[in-house]
């Protein structure tokens, strides 16, 4: 399964060893999840690391090798109504490359959370983990 991790999930995973975002990284190898992100999301994450304690940057360095970086997609050949223009590259890239988009950004992705975008599920990490447990896949 290919999981696209947006900036909020990347920062949450680096920032806390106990949250669902970090659990995604921990379970990925055994569950055979491909963790995807994009240059756009990585740039946002790295740009925000200075706002956190130094240990977060150290954890980021340890987590980063688990990510497969896919090319950014900035346009679609379909109609799109999505107000958060700064997050369109995240949404479009996830649609082009992943099976699921994981985000913690309720402000910009709130209307899509728990739903789909052209068939792409948009989920909070803990919701995804709950679904996987309920399905017996972890």
pLDDT confidence tier of residue 107, bands split at 50, 70 and 90: confident
pTM of whole model > 0.85? yes
Return the percentage of the chain with pLDDT > 70, whole number: 90
* 135 DSSP assignment: T
For the chain, the average pLDDT equals: 91
CATH topology of domain 2-134: Rossmann fold (3.40.50)
Biggest CA pair distance of the chain: 42
In the structure encoding, which two tokens stand for residue 104, read together? 């913690």
pLDDT number for residue 78: 57
Q: Is the pLDDT assigned to residue 67 strictly greater than 80?
A: yes
Contact 114, 123 (CB under 8 A): yes
């Amino acid at each position: 399964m290919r999981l696209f991790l947006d900036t909020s999930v990347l920062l949450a995973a680096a920032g806390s060893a106990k949250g669902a975002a970090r659990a995604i990284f921990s379970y990925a190898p055994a569950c055979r999840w491909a963790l995807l992100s994009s240059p756009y999301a990585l740039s946002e994450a790295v740009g925000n690391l200075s706002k956190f304690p130094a240990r977060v940057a150290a954890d980021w360095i340890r987590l980063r090798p688990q990510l497969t970086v896919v090319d950014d997609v900035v346009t679609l050949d379909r109609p799109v109504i999505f107000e958060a223009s700064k997050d369109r590259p995240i949404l479009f890239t996830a649609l082009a490359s992943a099976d699921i988009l994981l985000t913690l950004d309720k402000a910009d992705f709130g209307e899509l959370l728990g739903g789909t975008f052209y068939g792409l599920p948009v989920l909070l990490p803990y919701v995804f983990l709950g679904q996987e447990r309920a399905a017996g896949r972890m």
